[in-house]
Amino acid sequence: MRPPRKSASAPTTRQPRNAAAAGRQRKWHPRVFTGCLNCRKRHVKCDEQTPSCAKCARLNLHCTFSRTFVPLAVDHNVANNKTPATTLIMAGQGGGGPDMAGASSDDLDGVFDRAVPLPDEPPQSSFSQAVPTTDGMDVPSFQLCLPAQVQGDQNTMYYQHYLFTVSPLLIIFDTPCNSNPYRMLLSLVGDENSTLLQSTMEALGAMHLASVPQTEKRSGHRAAAIKLYANVVSRLRQALLSLDGQAASLELLAICLLLCMYEKMSATDASWKVHLRGASQIAQAMYSPGLTVANRNKSSALTLGSDNLPIRRFLVSLLSYLDVAASCATGEAPFIAGDYWETLGGGWQYNLGVPDFAASHCTANRELAQVRSAWSRLMSIQAEISSFAKLQRSGLDKQQKDAIHVDLVYRLKNWHDSAPNVFLQLENLNELPFDAKDSEIEILTVTACVESYAEACAIYLDRIASKRLQRAADDDDVKSAVDRVFTLTLNFSHGISQLAVVWPLLTAGIATVDQQQQELCRQKLNGMRNFGFKHVSRALETLEYCWRHVERYDNVDYDEFEAMLSSNLVP
C-alpha cells in the first residue's frame, strides 16, 4: 500500500541555504593526494595496493597510478626560471608529495628480539648474536627501543628515535669499526639551515614509529610525520631558491637524500624519484666546472683538504647507492654517469665499513677494504646492465644487442675471477659456521651480501636480454645463480643485515619456479617487514603478483611487471 501523498496545500518549511550548510559542516580531514587515478577521480580513499586496489577490483576497473605527482610546496610559476639544482626539488617526474594521510600502515606481526644500542652504550656488532641454522629459516629480529612517555617536546622524541633506532637500520652494517655517520650529520654539515636538517630527521623518526606495529597511537605519529615532511619540503624549496646560482651546501644534499629515504620507507608510489633527482643535480652543481672561483671558495666541501672530506665521501656514496638501485628498478641509466662514487667521492664510504668515521682500528679493516673495492666494481656493472635495458627500449638490432650482452657477461665473469681473496672463504660454505667468531661472522656476512648481488646481476642481465620471467626453468646457468642467491641470503644474513639483501631476494624470486624456494623467500621477506620499511612489503607484493599470475595464467605481462618494479626503490 502506497503512503498517502502530501496535500498540495500543506505548508513546507525551507531552511535558508546558508543555514542548512552551516548545520551540516563537513568534518575536517586531511586531503589525500596519493592513490590510483580512479579513486582520486572519485574522491575516495584508496588502499594503494598493487597491482589493483580493492575498490578497482570490486568495480572491475583498470587500476593505474599516476607517475607525475608533484608536492604541495611546488610553485610552477617560478620553476622554469631557477637553476637546475633548484628546479629539481620543485618539479619532476614522480614527485615527492606527502604520503598518504589516507594510507594505513600494514598490520605486521612479530616483535623485535634484540635491542638497538642505547646512547651511552658502544654499538655492538650487528652479527654477534646471529645463530645460523641448517635450513636457513631463522629470521632473528630486534627488540625495538620504543620511546617512553613523552616528556616535553614530541619532536625531540622523534629526533632521538632517529638517532638511536632508525640510523642503524639505514646504515645496516652498524659495527664497532664504524661510527654511524647518520648520527653525526647534524654536527658535520650543519650551518644556518641546521633546523631544516633536524626537522628532516624528526620526520624520519616519526614515520618509522608510525610503521612499527608495537607503537601506540600510530595514526598520530603518521600525521606528525606528514606535517614535518610537508614543512621540510616547503623550507627546502625556499632554501634552494635563495642560492641564486651558488653551489648548494652539503647539508641540502643530505636533506634530499634523507627525504628519498623517507619515501622509500613509507610511500606506495615513486615519490622518491624527485628527491633522488634533486640530490643528483645538487651534487653535479657542486662539482660543475662552470662554478666561479668565488663560489668554489665558499663551498669548503669541494676542497680536498677540508674537514668535510669524509662526510662528502659518505654523502656521494649514499647518493650512488640509491642512484644505482633506482636504475635497476626503472631500467634507466643512473642520474649521474660513470663511477662517480670513485671519481668524485674518492672511494666507497657508505656501508661495508666506513673507515673515515671509525673510532678505533679493527682487524677486519683490510678485508672490508677489499669487499668495498669489489662492491664498487659490481655497482658499475649494475649501472651498465640498466643502461643496456634503456638501449633495448630505444631500439637495438640483434648484432648490437648480442655484442653488449656478451660484453656484460664477460665483465661479470671477470669480476668473479678477479674477486679478492676474502671471497674465497665462501666457496665451500653454505651457511655460517657454528664455531665462527664475531669478527668472522661479520666478514662472511658482508662478503655473502656482495656475492649475492653478483649472482643477482647475472639473473638481472638475463631477464633484460630475454625479456622473460622465471627463467630458472629454461636456463641452467640462471637456475644455478638463483640457487646460490637463496643460499647466501637465507643462510648468511640475519637481523639488520637482512635489509642489505632485499634486491637479490627480489631478483632471484622473480626467476625461480621452485615452490619451496618461493615459500622460503616469502617467509624471509615477511620476517623483514617487521623493520618497518615499506619497500620490503612492496617487494613481497610484487613477487606474489608474479607467482600468482604464472600459477593461474602461465604468463606474466613483461612490460606491466617492469612498470610495477619501476616504482619501488630497492637498494
Instruction: Please give the C-alpha separations between residue 269 and each of 231, 290, 433, in angstroms, as whole numbers.
Output: 20, 35, 41
Chain segment 488-529, per-residue pLDDT in tens: 999 999 999 999 999 999 999 999 999 999 999 999 999 998
List every span in the chain annotated with CATH 4.10.240.
Answer: 30-62
The pLDDT of residue 198 is above 80:
yes
Quote the cell numbers at residue 31.
586531503
Residue 67's CB: how many other CB atoms inside 10 A?
Answer: 15
DSSP result, 178-222 = ---HHHHHHHHH-STTHHHHHHHHHHHHHHHHHHSTT-SSHHHHH
Q: Answer yes or no: is pLDDT of 458 > 50.
A: yes
Q: What is the pLDDT of residues 162-174, one digit of tens each?
A: 998 999 999 988 7
Mean pLDDT of the chain: 77
Contact 451, 488 (CB under 8 A): yes
pLDDT at 99 over 80: no
**384/80: higher pLDDT:** 384
Instruction: With cut-offs at 50, 70 and 90, classify the pLDDT of residue 548.
Output: very high
Give the integer Cα–Cα distance in Å for 389 and 327. Answer: 10
User: What's the grid cell of residue 314?
Assistant: 659518505
Banded pLDDT at 84 (limits 50, 70, 90): very low
Does residue 413 carry a pLDDT above 60? Answer: yes
| Topology at the third CATH level for domain 30-62 | CD2-Gal4 (4.10.240)
107-132: pLDDT as tens digits: 322 323 323 333 333 333 333 333 23
Q: What is the pLDDT of residue 227?
A: 95
Each residue's pLDDT tens digit, 299-331: 333 333 344 678 888 999 999 999 999 999 999
Q: Which three cell numbers stand for residue 339?
A: 663511477
The whole-model pTM stands at: 0.74
Read off the amino acid at residue 263.
Answer: E
The grid coordinates of residue 174 equal 652498524
Q: What is the pLDDT of residue 90?
A: 29
| Residue 462 confidence class, pLDDT cut points 50, 70, 90 | very high
Task: Decide which of 362 and 260 is more confident.
Answer: 260
Q: With bands split at pLDDT 50, 70 and 90, how would you rate the model's confidence at 43?
A: confident
Task: Please identify which residue in the block is written with the cell numbers 600510530.
Answer: 218
| SS3 label, residue 480 | helix
Place 437 in a pLDDT band, splitting at 50, 70 and 90: confident
How sure is the predictor about 74, in pLDDT bands with cuts at 50, 70 and 90?
Answer: very low
Please state, in angstroms and rounded to a whole number, the distance separating the CA atoms of residues 346 and 140: 35
Query: What's the whole-number mean pLDDT along residues 419-445?
Result: 90
Residue tagged 641564486 (cell numbers): 244
